[in-house]
Chains A and B, each alone.
Chain A
Amino acid sequence: DIVMTQSPDSLAVSLGERATINCKSSQSVLYRSNNKNYLAWYQQKPGQPPKLLIYWASTRESGVPDRFSGSGSGTDFTLTISSLQAEDVAVYYCQQYYSTSPLTFGGGTKVEIK
């Protein structure tokens, strides 16, 4: 199984400041055949289901604000919120799609306002 490790577990950021979340996979999630990293990021607010933010490591889902960006390749990935807004308070999860059996998620990173 591909193990996904997120860091930090939580972070507090001032409004308007940058938030950075890291995700590391235990093996590469880069498909050589199409040069795409099968890594997605989700946002989950309290009492709500997860919402897809980014797939292929850096492609924003339709309707996602451009303050959210994803980067990285192979085994190391980052989700960046360039200017934190109050509505961004949530738990963020990374997930690999390289192997669909099983799909695996990171443990989550809780983002709060400082």
Chain B
Amino acid sequence: DAKTTQPNSMESNEEEPVHLPCNHSTISGTDYIHWYRQLPSQGPEYVIHGLTSNVNNRMASLAIAEDRKSSTLILHRATLRDAAVYYCILRDGGGGNQFYFGTGTSLTVIP
């Protein structure tokens, strides 16, 4: 299974942008890149996903490298509510359900 590598933890000051990196050097052509986040004592929630092109939504932006071997989740202005564990996940778009959640990046937002 294609796997992802993320830093264990990151810090950001409130109201500053945050760039959360993810390496996925063994990504296959049909793998979608998903980001979820998990707030304390809650189940994970969807943030954003993409395949090849950069993506924007109301929560975040996803920048995907041209070779697709890495991606970056961008939170444009971190708030205290963004403190969570962020998971970068590869999901097979061909219909399978093989994936790897990993341990994610724990984001601390400093007031």
Q: Are the chains A and B members of one assembly?
A: no
Could you list which residues of chain B lie within 8 angstroms of chain A, going by C-beta atoms? none
